[in-house]
Amino acid sequence: MPALKLICVAAFMTLAGYQAFSQDYPFIKYTPKDGLINNRVRNFYQDSKGRIFITTANGLSVYDGARFLNYTVDDGLGNPLVNDVLELSADSLLIATNTSVLNVWVQGSIKVVKTKNNFCPVINRFYRDKNNTIYVASDQGIYRFEKDIFTPINIKAHDGNTATSFEEIQDIGNYLWLKRADLTFRFSNLLLIHKETFKSHPFPLDGYVTCALPLKEEQLLLVIANSQLLSLDLKAAEHGLVKYKKLPSRFRHLTKLSLHKIIIDRYHNIWGLTSNSVIRLMQDGKLQIFDKSNGLDVSNIRSITIDNENVLWILTDGSGILKLVNRNVEILSSDIKAIYIDSSGKEWMLGTSDQYLYCSYDDQVQKWRLNSDAGFGGLAMRKKLLLLFDNNSIYQTEPVQQVNRLSVKKIYSDNIEPINYSRAEIGENDNIYIPGHSLTVLNSENIVTRIRLPAYADQLSLDKHQQLWAVSRAGDLLCYQINQDKAADPLTLKFTDKLSIQQPRAIAIDKTGKIWIGTRYDGLYCLEYSNKRIVSKRQWTTANGLTDNFIYHLICDDNNVIWAGTQGGLDKISASGSVVESITRNNNIFQVIYKVMIGKKNDVWAAAIGSIIRITNDASVASDYQPQLQIVRMMSAEKSFPILPDQAVLPSKTRELTFDVAAPSFIDEKRVRFSYMLEGNEEGQWSPPAPEASFRFINLPPAKYTLHIRAVFPVAHYKTQELVYHFTILPPWWNTWWFRTLLIAFFLIVIVLLIKAYYQDKLKKQRLNFEKQQAIQQERTRIAMEMHDDLGSGLTVIRYLAGGLVSNTLPLIKEKALKIETSAKQLVDNMNDIIWTIKSDNNSLSDVLSYIRKQAADMLENVGIDYEFDFPKHPGDLILTNEQKRNILLISKEIVHNVVKHSRATKVLIKAEQNGDIFRLWFSDNGKGVGNGFSSHFGNGMKNMQQRATQIGGRIEIQNNKGTTVIVTIRLA
């Protein structure tokens, strides 16, 4: 179908030569090559999170802008043919496949809904009424689905038969329209039932209804058998009558098209579908047609949908899905060399290959043959006279009339520099201003004035104060006052400034007087002057959303929006500067835009090399949608974890984690950029924004984590979205606090038990040892005592017998008897000593001391040696061993014995001292001293004493100090 763009079909038919302006819409196609599961698309559903569910003849695709998640029978679908999808709640959608199984899609995985009675019809369509009750149109009839059970709703058809099979259920006012699938074409397949009562109305309509659409005034628009368009009177239908009303006039344009479907979108636009075209019926009855001629090159169009973002999706059976983001963006054919929009809004175009001039106005196109051989490159309009340019000359046509030919005459030639004709500006006074090394002014009388510029200027800008602005590549900002009356002196330099901006290439003055400067390398600047001084300066580059930093051309439209033609495309900058939108890139168009013009109704025309892009000022394209940033999947080692709303707790062996995120926006999903920051044990850092919508984290130690995700959108009015998600990787069980506590407790108990066992064992051994020792001791004491008693008695007898002989007169006998007596006494004394040491109740130091005292006293008293004791008054309770006791006693006895025997002393001082475990005994006599007579004094006794002292860890010293002092030092304990 031929079309410029919006063409009244009737007017269009009267024109010839239109082929010159073929035009394309930037459709984007999704097929299995792009990830879609199957080319045969059946239905389209957008859930509350913005994802689109695409049902196909062989599975389900879920597209979130970042990826297609595909589901087949292998993933749990009951049947490859997916009929319909219905959202129950976020992340939970019912899926009807062409079998008696109801599936549910929950957080990315397919499950089977178990009904209570194990019955599920073959569902063709879901319907949810305003009370949130779900009905299904199925091969087995209409059912209400509540509380996991399908309840049949009995519906009698008008022909009296029970209708059993339905393929469609739709809401029409108080009624539901059911499309029966169990009938032939002979009867109407349309069944109207009351919404509340589910009563059907007898409805003897002939013909097969392919589509029905409620209109206002209780009319139902019917498409009968793919051709007839009828308006049914619903009021009459309620009474069982078939009455047709006059088709509203705006629908008449649709009657001649063989539509199979009519759709009203969410913005109340009416769309008609044929198998290979999509027609939009505008409010004024005009049609916008999408077909092969303007980029929609598909067949078997099944349906269309307008999504949340006002993107048009076209579903095809066999060619996948197509999307058209901005229906108001068109690429006019590459056959147009130049375009000019005059002050009345007429679009003048110069053909590429021929000498034709076209004018489009009010959807009418006129065409003229130019009567010249010159190779025109540009055009403009002055005083209803068309100006044509080539590199060296300016030509003017005769007044444009309704004739086929226009004659052309040269009005100016420039021999100094080529004419920058694409940048020529026509002033209100019909002056022509051309930038370049000089500013060339051609007044209405074609008198030329050349003003030398400091450097080459690429663009001029006229403001509403009769001023002409220019910026040179060297950064000179020049402002000229236009002198209306002085033909010879058309411009007066009013203001100049040297900008600190490198390589300016474009200039525009907006409605508020701000100066916008486009540059070669540094993007766009906005300068605000006050009293000839810059008071504010802002800059935009690709970092702020520009398609390119090389700005060719700038213009300000009626709404004070700045349009920038760049090396990469066309950008739209709101006057506040806060919104930068790349119109061309969003539509997958990448072209150098060297000139931008504002047309009638504020349409924008952008001249690219070899083609023209038009952006219609279409309010219906706008939407207030904001995409939702979401986590789609959380996976570790191929295993998917549920995305819990608050926070996820992951098992300890999780070392690696992949997050798939999405922010469903289909305007330019490839340019949605994501960044993330993971905070765990360490501070995180935002990753640079990238289109990659999958974040993989490796070597994650067990900890609490917070994942921040950010999405930045290429659509200017979409706010940057942020999402925070908490997750915890559990420590391994052997690393948890309770396990550690238990472990410590266990070890403590074991240690305590071991210590206890050790000490008990030791105590037991000690006790046994002690008992044994005691038993030995007792036995020893007993033996000793018995021997002592016996021997003692015997010795006593001997003594007394010898004593009897002492009085004998024979000296020999007397002497022997005395010796016997003495020996016996000595023996008994020694035995007493031994017994004393053996007895266990004399073990303290104090006992030993008192024994020494008594022993020494006895011995010394017998021989009349004076003695003195200096013993501690309170000797400690130190316990001595038998060995210590015995040796100390024997040493002491030996020393006293020596004193008695050898010292010739008259006095002895015996001193004892205990200091800690050191025990010392001093025996100081006033006798002759040891001196030379050492051996005689001590003799072998000394050796024995030393031995005894050594045995118990002591030593003996002998000092000669006015007598003899023997010092016994023993370490007790």
Partner 1 sequence: MPGKMEADYFCSLIYIRLITVSIVEDIEDVRNGLAGIIRMSDGFTVLHSFASAEEALPALMESPPDIVIMDINLPGINGIDCIRQARMKNPRIQFMMFTIYENSDTVFEAIEAGATGYLLKNSSPAKIVESLKELYDGGSPMNAEIAKKLVMRFQKQASIQNDFHLTPKEHEVLELMSKGYLYKEIAVELNNTVNTIKQHIRHIYEKLHVQNKAEAINKVFLK
Binding site for partner 1 (CB under 8 A): 785, 788-789, 792-793, 795-797, 799-801, 803-804, 825, 828-829, 832, 835-836, 839, 842, 846-847, 849-851, 853-854, 857, 869, 871, 873
Closest to partner 1 by CB, 558 or 868: 868
Closest to partner 1 by CB, 306 or 856: 856
CA atoms of 79 and 136, how far apart (whole Å) = 17
**DSSP states along 321-347:** EEEES-TTEEEE-TTEEEEEE-TT--E
Q: What are phi and psi of 712, to 5 degrees?
A: -115, 135
Shortest separation between residue 932's beta carbon and partner 1, angstroms: 35
Q: 694 with 659: CB under 8 angstroms? A: yes
844 Cβ partners below 8 Å, 6+ apart?
Answer: 875, 877, 878, 879, 880
Q: Is 217 left (phi over 0), alpha (psi -120 to 50) or beta?
A: left
508 Cβ partners below 8 Å, 6+ apart?
Answer: 459, 461, 515, 516, 554, 555, 556, 562
Closest to partner 1 by CB, 68 or 869: 869
Q: Is 768 left (phi over 0), alpha (psi -120 to 50) or beta?
A: alpha
Shortest separation between residue 848's beta carbon and partner 1, angstroms: 9
Shortest separation between residue 802's beta carbon and partner 1, angstroms: 9
Closest to partner 1 by CB, 172 or 827: 827
Shortest separation between residue 924's beta carbon and partner 1, angstroms: 18
**DSSP states along 886-914:** HHHHHHHHHHHHHIIIII--SEEEEEEEE
Shortest separation between residue 921's beta carbon and partner 1, angstroms: 14
Looking at residue 884, the DSSP 8-state letter turns out to be H
Q: What angle do CA 600, 602, 604 make, to 5 degrees?
A: 95
Residue with tokens 């969003």: 586
Closest to partner 1 by CB, 675 or 924: 924
One-letter amino acid of 462: L
Q: What angle do CA 840, 844, 850 make, to 5 degrees?
A: 105
Structure tokens at 694: 């999958």
Closest to partner 1 by CB, 777 or 842: 842
Helix (H) or strand (E) holding 538: strand 533-540
Closest to partner 1 by CB, 215 or 802: 802
**DSSP states along 680-735:** SSS---PPPPBS--EEEE-SPPSSEEEEEEEEE-SSTTSPPEEEEEEEEEPPPGGG
Closest to partner 1 by CB, 249 or 807: 807
Shortest separation between residue 946's beta carbon and partner 1, angstroms: 27
Identify any residues that bridge with 440 across adjacent strands, giving them in sequence order.
434, 450
Shortest separation between residue 804's beta carbon and partner 1, angstroms: 6
CA atoms of 126 and 143, how far apart (whole Å) = 10
Closest to partner 1 by CB, 364 or 846: 846
Shortest separation between residue 873's beta carbon and partner 1, angstroms: 8
Looking at residue 19, the DSSP 8-state letter turns out to be G
Shortest separation between residue 789's beta carbon and partner 1, angstroms: 7
Shortest separation between residue 803's beta carbon and partner 1, angstroms: 5
Shortest separation between residue 857's beta carbon and partner 1, angstroms: 5
Closest to partner 1 by CB, 109 or 823: 823
Closest to partner 1 by CB, 643 or 828: 828
CA atoms of 465 and 394, how far apart (whole Å) = 27
Instruction: Using DSSP, state whether 484 is helix, strand or coil.
Output: coil
Closest to partner 1 by CB, 712 or 878: 878
Looking at residue 286, the DSSP 8-state letter turns out to be -
Shortest separation between residue 862's beta carbon and partner 1, angstroms: 8
